[in-house]
Chain A
């Protein structure tokens, strides 16, 4: 039975805010890349479809980004409101990336306003395109800085503790801690991949319902190719992350893989369930694959949960999240790879029903994989808030009112979520691309309003 004390409720509220925020943050980081590419192709090829694509994506992006900003502000404040003792301690070591993140956010906010409200305002269309570059840089740098903070919580570095007092702080060492490179690579890559996949899903649906097919064809080609490229880099990043875990956070890897005994040539456990005696049933076992995953060597020794003190062991259910994340990643990689292949072989029709149906799933699935991946990463470092230094219970607020705040925020996110869906639907359903295209070119010169 879980006790709903302030610690548990603080965890639940933080989790809820992050799960909601991550949807918008991920799209916020990745979609500007796609908008920028589409606008550039539109200008270079003088293909009005691509220019329209950039405009339509940007319009939807405005909504997403706004919700991302308000939920981001929420999590920014909640860190101090719900985890005051943690922030008091960690603030001394990781204030730098938090501070720099707001600079990146500032930079992005300025250019986003400039970009979104100046379509067709410049004589040379390239001037407007250049405004998209700082948005990409700002968004990606935000992701970078905030990920270094999370990485720090996993592998704290850059300070010494003597008698409970932190000293000898090195802000750069804290920021570039051991977890930073793989985490940043994985986060940025998967954000690009998911954004491309979501846009691919939209294009596939448009094509399937037989609307704007000329437009949808181009959109599919661009987005699915991008999905393929980014899902390959995400897979590479995932592999590097596993190798990182084996070395620095063996308890997370072991719990995620249900690897109980330390051994050489460890098997990789896929799927399956745990019975009441912690025995694995119904699994697929790949002999020695875990050793290979962790060290690139089939006979390497992998630390198991037997080497981890019982009260520092993460919950075992994270295995499911790990499996789901990886399976989805592989599925998206295969589907997008197949589509790209089909576009190169003349005889095949990449726009057959089955292919399109498969493509409609990759956006939502990728977003789910992002959520699963974060659940795995975050619950996998339980019971620590700062691994090795501070447990979650020591960092939480003592306020008795967290439960009420949980309900308040649940209501807020519910309303925001519904509002976003309604507005996005209204925005695109009533304004098909073909109609908009005609409209755009009969009213040349009046297009200043977004």
Chain B
């Protein structure tokens, strides 16, 4: 019988993975939109981006809210440690997300023509993943000073750490990689040849730093948290599968076919890497202060959360399918006929 803590962490990890994928598409699109504008190619990109992203940006945001509310719900101790330590980075992330959210609200009414707003839209696309990935870095331990007076983030050590920079780098390049892979698929589906040829180039370009950064993180981890590094090796085959799907994705896009499958391969690539990383982290949620079994919410609440989660899924899955059929898989809509 699996305890609620394992159900809880699995649920949360699935949602964080979901956020990783949908938010990467969003964040990367912001950067590409700005870049395209600088290189006078915005007419190619903008329509594609606003047709897909405007109806779904809120859903993207919910994945994130869901994760942190669920984390506090299943593991209330995390609120104590992360809450105290992350006031500044957390607040900055909120502000960046707010700038981005307001872009979608204001875009149809002028902000798209405003260079400052376009710049902010592009910049937040890279800064948000960087700031959010910091929370994962901190969870590896070594950056918190825990005393009776409270929990403090040791910001200098964070800024000087090779591990923290390698994670930031990976976050940024994989956002651009995932996003360009998705948008290639979307452009292909829309029959937009110009956009496809542009995005395909981006996708192939960003695939290289993505794989390099993944390796760098491994090396930095061996220095930073050797204990976790050893456990990573227990799951070497999971990371092997991730690399395999990476090769499949890049090959398909390179040979200009099966863009849909290529994106599924990208999703599987990150699925295995992300879950391999997650499972090897356990039993620690925040090394070495919070472990999964000690911090878990009492049984009665754990059960209630799991029941609520199943009920919620029964409602969400059909609704999400409906939304995807409307905006993602409706060929007429994508081509701009609706």
The residues of A with any CB-CB pair to B shorter than 8 Å are 62-63, 65-67, 69-74, 76-85, 87-93, 95-96, 98-103, 105-107, 109-114, 116-118, 121, 134, 166-167, 169-172, 397-399, 401-402, 404-405, 408-409, 412, 416, 419, 423, 426-427, 448, 450
A95-B62 contact in complex given A66-B104, A87-B83, C-beta closer than 8 Å: no
Which B82-132 residues sit within 8 Å CB-CB of chain A?
Answer: 82-84, 86-88, 90-95, 97-98, 101-102, 104-106, 108-110
* Contact in complex: A423, B326 (CB < 8 Å): no
B side interface size, CB within 8 A: 66
Which B142-171 residues sit within 8 Å CB-CB of chain A?
Answer: 149-152
Residues in B with CB closer than 8 Å to A83 are 83
A171-B301 contact in complex given A70-B97, A70-B98, C-beta closer than 8 Å: yes
Residues in A with CB closer than 8 Å to B76 are 87-92, 95
* Contact in complex: B69, A98 (CB < 8 Å): yes
Q: List 17 A-B contacts (CB under 8 A).
A: A66-B101, A69-B101, A76-B68, A76-B69, A77-B93, A88-B76, A90-B76, A95-B74, A95-B76, A99-B73, A99-B308, A100-B312, A107-B319, A114-B323, A171-B300, A419-B106, A448-B338
Q: Which of B62, B84, B301, B338 contacts A109 (CB 8 A)?
A: B62
A96-B104 contact in complex given A83-B83, A106-B312, A397-B83, C-beta closer than 8 Å: no
* Contact in complex: A95, B305 (CB < 8 Å): yes
**New contact pairs (20) apart from A80-B72, A95-B76, A105-B62, CB-CB < 8 Å:** A63-B106, A70-B102, A71-B98, A73-B65, A74-B98, A77-B68, A81-B86, A90-B76, A91-B79, A91-B297, A92-B76, A96-B308, A105-B65, A107-B315, A107-B319, A117-B326, A398-B149, A408-B92, A408-B95, A412-B95
The residues of B with any CB-CB pair to A shorter than 8 Å are 54-56, 58-59, 61-62, 64-66, 68-70, 72-74, 76-77, 79-84, 86-88, 90-95, 97-98, 101-102, 104-106, 108-110, 149-152, 297-298, 300-301, 304-305, 308-309, 311-312, 315-316, 319-320, 322-323, 326-327, 338
Residues in B with CB closer than 8 Å to A426 are 109-110
* Contact in complex: B84, A399 (CB < 8 Å): yes
Q: Which of B86, B95, B108, B304 contacts A96 (CB 8 A)?
A: B304
Residues in A with CB closer than 8 Å to B62 are 102, 105-106, 109
Closest residue of A by beta carbon distance from B55: A113
A87-B72 contact in complex given A110-B323, A170-B300, A171-B300, C-beta closer than 8 Å: yes
A423-B106 contact in complex given A73-B97, A81-B91, A111-B319, C-beta closer than 8 Å: yes
Residues in B with CB closer than 8 Å to A101 are 69
Residues in B with CB closer than 8 Å to A172 are 304
* Contact in complex: A88, B101 (CB < 8 Å): no
* Contact in complex: A116, B91 (CB < 8 Å): no
* Contact in complex: B110, A423 (CB < 8 Å): yes
